[in-house]
Structure 1
Amino acid sequence: MAMKKVLMSVAAAGGMFVVGTSTAHADNVTYTVKAGDTVSEIAEHFDTTVAKIKQLNQLENENLILVGQKLLVTGEQPVNTTKGTANNTSANTGNTNQAAYQAPVTQAPSTATGSDAEAKAWIASHESGGSYTASNGNYYGKYQLSRSYLGGDYSPANQERVADNYVASRYGSWSAAKSHWLSHGWY
């Protein structure tokens, strides 16, 4: 217990972050969040509770999980080990948007092909984890478009259409939009 307090104090004082963990219990089960997942569905699948998952993962808001996030669903909380310093307090080095994920939504067809399709998928992944229901303030959906651009129609088909029109008019292609995102952290 004293060791844990020391590590947390050093982390808070020095701006350190955890880059590794060591598991203290052999029955730990980890689940990687996919688009459309909710903590309650994950808890039901693993025959545990939302409260237990929230506690194991020190989640402030169980309705705010990210695609690709690894959640400990059973067992005991890992003991953190510190292996370096950085000015960042988060391992997320990409877009800082955090999107809440709700029920899965059917994929709307895309008009992009080839490298543009890859760039479009990359942007969607970095903006919302590919979720049509992701929300971050005034930005909504798979491409985190301004709600005013969407005109109140948040359907997947409208999100695809509006995103394609926005990118075509502003950048000319999804590949150019991705290049801008890589340079500026937004598109």
Structure 2
Amino acid sequence: MRSIKTILLGTILAAGFGIFVGTTDVHADTLYTVQSGDSLSKISQQFGGDANFINKIAEDNNIDNIHMIYVGQELVIKTGEGTEIAAAPAAAVQVETQPAAQPAATESAAASAYTGTSSSAKEWIAQKESNGSYTATNGRYIGRYQLDSSYLNGDYSAENQERVADQYVAQRYGSWEAAQAFWLANGWY
């Protein structure tokens, strides 16, 4: 009797261990950081072998325009039921979102020129805020970066606008890239 119990218990434990060791979680999420030159199509190809996962990636990451992602944006890559998506490279880490369709040619050129540098992010914001004009006004917001007139202290010169904009962004966001990411998420900076 004792040997039957031992055999039965041993078989149950071995089967349970075999099931435990033999299973993997096909629903694991991967955090991927968008790199220069990436598109949702390329990311879908990388993780799924084809472009069939574009809409799933966009949906999982609340991306409204599948044609607009930006360098440094972090995307969560999820696998669906029965869907096998390869693991992301070890370098994957961060992400954020690109703007919606650009209405004006100058805005489109500025957005497509974005490479992730401070100068390109700064120019991108200037184009969005005032089409790059130092003389643009919108109520109490003045100039190229649409700064509150109280920040400029009556000096609306291009040099002062540049200096004050750099100080404002450094204090509030830390970098022009972070300011751009905030603008993309909120429509202002």
TM-score range, shorter chain: 0.3 to 0.5
Normalised to the residue count of structure 2, the TM-score between the two structures is: 0.39
Give the alignment's TM-score, normalised by structure 1.
0.40
Which structure has the greater CA radius of gyration?
2
